Structure 1
């Protein structure tokens, strides 16, 4: 596997200089953040990102993410314009040597939590999700801010968008995803880019919006839509792990050839549709990380793998879930498990 790390560009407080110092670190997962959703990513911006990363003896292993415009998810007539732009962006990325693109099909909101600074017993803070708290939240309330929140919405735009989804069912969202994949995957095949859909986080409906990439059953349906080596998965143990019915190791073994990108993080389920994000250590959460890494080792996984959300520890401040210290600990922990598995196997 290629140990990788998420970097949010030059404005990120976690610098490439720091990331480079993590033992075993090879790749960077990043994106272009100043191009509006739906527009073509200019080749010069992509090349500049790649060169900046390579100056630090790292490689651009994954683009996370190329956002999918809401008109595509809604199946509006304007979707064809945005799909055409998406295709051109893939071609521009391929010209820069990018091999994996992560994306998601979650309506309106990306990953969502109810508290970004929940205090743990050890003095660190973490992200948590409590369904009962989220159910009481009004996404249109003034001052409400959550991860996955697009602050670029103009006044009244978010309300209109949520109203547009009122009659959109899970089945309709599946149909719109299929339309998107039928258009995109042939281009991905042509330019040799692996498309890797990220599961919904959390893996159930929020604010009445449908969510569809939640389980092994949904992965089977995804693959059937467009059975191509380029139509695959970002396997996130935190997202799938929030549902206790998902057997993570068996899912990895079943869909190994379709897993183009791995997110390894731990969460501790604390109740029905309630969890907190823990350290990566197996005993601290509900995900057996050794079992997960063993499954990746068994399938011969060679793709990019990154530690995911971390706690805020040792007094660090910054982007919730994306500080340096705990994610670096996670990277070293995962790399240690991998080394032990490889040497034991050989």
Structure 2
């Protein structure tokens, strides 16, 4: 397991690279050019600048999250080929600085959804929260405004400029079914996977967050069956999965251990986080500790260990603790604690395997 840490760039992140470098076992950053609009080709000079910044602290750039997919591609519009061509040229540029994995998603309009960015927990910390009943009655325009008003930093997937196009997007998606979205995803993969193969990059799709429809928009990467169908759209190691335990874990019917066991050789990148799911379907993000939530984090790490996982892992989303002022979900303290919990589990499983092997040889 190779530990990495998401970083939003100089001037757009409260966590500096020098602090990330001090977290035990972290070897690289998970990065992106967040100010480049979806569909545009990434400039090489900007890519090289991030490489320079990371190398100054001995960190690599192996994982990008995300090269966003333009809505015209998801909608299957005639203009999609222009944006796919830009995407392929970006893949080629990223390969030049050693990128191995591109995490992306195929969620219409919004990358993720929460109803409260700073919901208070029993211990006084705050965390991202999803109130299921509220999402059904809230105006999506108002949700975008609320999210941006409550964060001094840009929130990927909820950028202010989306407001200008929101009404048009909702109108365009009125006729798009889940099967249409599957067809448009297949078209995208048929075009970009050969380029990814040629450049030694794996395209690792992120599950929908949460894993069900919101605002009447279709969502298709929500379950083990969906992931199986996704991998079947283009049979190649370059067509892969970013397994996010928090996204899929928001639906308790998703068996994360079974998913890892079935698809472990197609998971080059994983987000590990915990959520506590309530009986009414609400959920709050918790510490990474297994007992604090609904996700069997210790079982997840064991499944990766037992299947010889050598991919990249990042602690996904943390609580806001110790009065830290940070991007919602992306502070330093709780994610660093999460890393140490994950390493503790991993080291314990490694030691147990070594001891078992010694006993087997001795007997």
What TM bracket, shorter-length normalisation?
over 0.9
TM-score, normalised relative to structure 1: 0.97
User: Within the alignment, does 1:205 sit opposite 2:213 as a pair?
Assistant: yes
Tell me the CA shift for residue 61 of structure 1. 2.5
What corresponds to 1:265 in structure 2?
273
Q: Which of residues 158, 162, 175 in structure 2 aligns to 1:153?
A: 162
Stretches of structure 2 lacking an aligned partner (at least 5 in a row)? 148-154, 355-363
Which 4+ runs in 1 deviate beyond 6 A? Answer: none
Q: Map 1:271-290 to 2 at 5 A.
A: 271-290=279-298
Stretches of structure 1 lacking an aligned partner (at least 5 in a row)? none
Q: How many residue pairs end up in the alignment?
A: 345
TM-score, normalised relative to structure 2: 0.93
CA shift in 2, pair 1:345/1:88, >3 Å: same
What corresponds to 2:80 in structure 1?
79
Q: Map 1:93-112 to 2 at 5 A.
A: 93-112=94-113
Question: Contact 2:144/2:158 (CA < 8 Å) preserved in 1?
Answer: no
What corresponds to 1:88 in structure 2?
89
Greater helix fraction, Structure 1 or Structure 2: 2
User: Within the alignment, does 1:236 sit opposite 2:244 as a pair?
Assistant: yes
What corresponds to 2:335 in structure 1?
327
Deviations 1:109-132 (A, max 9, x none): 011101111111101001111110
CA distance in 1, matches of 2:341, 2:261: 22
Question: Contact 2:141/2:163 (CA < 8 Å) preserved in 1?
Answer: no
Tell me the CA shift for residue 154 of structure 1. 5.6
Question: Contact 1:109/1:150 (CA < 8 Å) preserved in 2?
Answer: no
Deviations 1:278-328 (A, max 9, x none): 100000000111100000001111111000010000001111000110001
* Counterpart secondary structure, 1:140: helix
What corresponds to 2:129 in structure 1?
128
What corresponds to 2:7 in structure 1?
7
What corresponds to 1:70 in structure 2?
71
Question: Contact 1:27/1:304 (CA < 8 Å) preserved in 2?
Answer: no
Deviations 1:55-79 (A, max 9, x none): 1011112100000000000000000
User: Within the alignment, does 1:345 sit opposite 2:353 as a pair?
Assistant: yes
Deviations 1:157-193 (A, max 9, x none): 2101111001111110000000000001011111110
CA shift in 2, pair 1:136/1:144, >3 Å: farther
* Counterpart secondary structure, 1:199: coil
Q: Map 1:215-234 to 2 at 5 A.
A: 215-234=223-242
CA distance in 2, matches of 1:142, 1:56: 37
Tell me the CA shift for residue 45 of structure 1. 1.1
CA distance in 2, matches of 1:8, 1:144: 21
What corresponds to 2:360 in structure 1?
none
Q: Could you say what the CA RMSD is over the residues aligned between the two structures, in angstroms?
A: 1.2
